[in-house]
Structure 1
């Protein structure tokens, strides 16, 4: 394994966190993250944001809001 450097680690970070890079690149990025505080911070931020988005996508809108949106959509369709 070789240290891939900050540029490559940061460029491929999202794919790495989603397990979408080949095993060689994954190992290189993992090794780099073990030794680079700056990239560790970037990875933590990316993980935190990804988890927050995943949680938000699981939430559902209140029924009242759904009804209001549907009513406005119907009204807009009726005028066009």
Structure 2
């Protein structure tokens, strides 16, 4: 294994986090993240953001809010 460096780690970070890189690349990026606080922080931010978006996509709006939004949309459509 060799440290792949910041440029490669950042370029391939999303694929790494989704396990879409080969084993060698995965090991190299993992090693780099373990020794580079800046890239490790970037990986943490990307992971956290992905988790928050995934949770948000599972939530549903309250029925009252949904009704208000739909009423506003209908009002706008009626004027066009």
Q: Normalising by structure 2, what TM-score?
A: 0.84
Distance in 1 (CA, whole Å) between partners of 2:12 and 2:30 is 11
| Count of residues paired in the alignment | 80
Taking only aligned residues, the RMSD between alpha carbons, in angstroms, comes to: 1.4
Q: Does 1:16 align with 2:16?
A: yes
Structure 1: segments with no counterpart, 5+ residues: none
Secondary structure in 1 matching 2:28: helix
Structure 2 gap segments, 5+ residues each: none
TM-score w.r.t. length of structure 1: 0.84
